[in-house]
Chain A
Amino acid sequence: MKSKLIPLTAVAISTLAVADVNAGSRLIATSGVTQLEGGAGGGLTPWAVISGYADEGEYSVGAFHTSTDVQDFRLKVNGVSASYDNRFEVSAALQSFEIKGVAGDLRQEIYGAKYRIYGDAIYTALPQVAAGIQYKRLLDGDIAEAVGAEDSDSGIDYYVSATKVHLAAVGGYHLLWNATLRATQANQMGLLGYGGDDESGYTLQPEVSALVLLRDDLAIGAEYRKKPDNLSAFDEDSFSDVFIAWFPNKNVNLTLAYADLGSIAGSEDQDGFYFSISSWFK
């Protein structure tokens, strides 16, 4: 796994040196960043924005890497995303979850698709609205099965998101908010399977983000993602973070966050730094 990161990071860093090569025409930072499951959004939650910078008639192609280290776990996510027409987005992500003292990664594939239904986050009075799905397939389901997951193979999340930018709204600085409602059965995003002995069906979970743009290329904000609590064996908490994201040009963006992941698989108070990079080649 680690060897895959080197070329990705090398490509990303090389794009840092070159400004706006082959990038789409949307304004800087309107790509958002890439969330834990591969969708364009904040870091934790998908937004209504479509990945990359493609506007009408254009397409975008990019790759991303995210890593979060907390006390007892490490999560790495690698993946690719493509979009067309500022309308459709598809993504593929591989999550590798390392548990302290346990040999072998716990891996989950996530294939995402998103469709912008209405609006433009900046220019229309009403928010930009999109709907998406995330198909999740657990490659290593033994732990999920052992902890009592209803399904240790695969699950599908459905979500709708609304994103709005209020220009110059906070003392002259732009404000962005996003609200997402997700229907999911996933335990810890699916890493511990889908559904459990306490709750086996879909539940609706709200996720919210807000940020302020200090400059056109620099954002600070916070996020909150409510999660189900399906397993009787463990309590599952919400995720939250505070973040800073930098968009040096349309080919790359970098996010640093401090994330509070709460209780995971019986380990309480898991928190730590989160780093993410997304690169857009087209």
Chain B
Amino acid sequence: MIRKLTYVATLFAGLTCFSAAHADDYYQELGGKEGVEKIVDNFINEISFDQDIVTFFEGTDITRLREKLIEQFCHESGGPCEYTGDSMKDVHAGMKITKAQFNRVVELLQAAMDDAGTPQTAQNRLIRSLAPMRPDIIHR
């Protein structure tokens, strides 16, 4: 009896895990590897045309930035990647980013996703994944 219950509980826990892991996955909805790369390329392009935001990236290794952003968006959307970059806190330390600048970068990301043809629901899911990072980014 106990064994049976344990089995059922384990099975149930397994199913819950399985569905939880997949309910939030939207990597394919972002367009998989190709889609994420396109979003990141567009994003970097949008940043490079924004006179205020681009100043934060002076001296940045853009190749590395691109690689880490692709990892991050891939990982956040449930794709087969690990994020190997620095923590958001460390990356933005000393930058004194205002709420206005944070919002501007959100807008640039939205424009990048629009240009990449990312579906609205996938855009929203990526924004939901990134939004909790705000306290680690602004006013640091």
A and B found bound together: yes
* A216 touches B (CB below 8 Å): yes
From A57, A215, A216, residue with most partner B Cβ within 10 Å: A216
Known: A55-B99, A172-B125, A173-B121. A122 touches B110 (CB 8 A): no
Task: Assess whether B103 is in contact with A215, with CB atoms less than 8 Å apart.
Answer: no
B100 at interface by CB-CB < 8 Å: yes
Whether A55 contacts B100 by the Cβ 8 Å rule is yes
Check if B106 sits within 8 Å of A27, measured CB to CB. Answer: yes
Nearest Cβ in chain B — how far from A280, in angstroms? 15
Q: A123-B134, A167-B128 are in contact. Are A25 and B99 (CB under 8 A)?
A: yes
The interface residues of chain B lying within 8 Å CB-to-CB of A27 are 103, 106-107
Q: Which B residues lie within 8 Å of A28 (CB)?
A: 107
Which chain B residue has the least Cβ–Cβ distance from A27?
A: B103
Q: A27-B107, A122-B131, A123-B134 are in contact. Are A168 and B125 (CB under 8 A)?
A: yes
Residues on A with C-beta less than 8 A from B26 are: 172
B47 to chain A, nearest CB (A): 16
Partner of B103, one of A55, A174, A216: A55
**Which residues of A are found within 8 Å of B125, using beta-carbon distances?**
168, 172
Residues of B in contact, count (CB < 8 Å): 21
B119 to chain A, nearest CB (A): 8
| Mask of A43-57 contacts with B, CB within 8 angstroms, 1/0 | 000000000000111
Also in contact, A26 and B124, with CB within 8 A (given A56-B98, A123-B134, A167-B131): no
A30 → chain B closest CB, angstroms: 9
- A172 touching B100 by the CB < 8 A rule? no
* B residues 95-131 touching A (CB-CB < 8 Å): 98-101, 103-104, 106-107, 110, 119-122, 124-125, 127-128, 131
Pair A172/B104 contact, Cβ less than 8 Å: no
Q: Which one of A55, A56, A173 lies within 8 Å of B120 (CB-CB)?
A: A173
Residues of B within 8 A of A58 (CB): 100
What are the interface flags for A157-186 relative to B under an 8 Å C-beta threshold, 1 for contact and 0 otherwise? 000000000011001111000000000000
Chain A residue numbers with a CB within 8 Å of B100 are: 24-25, 55-58
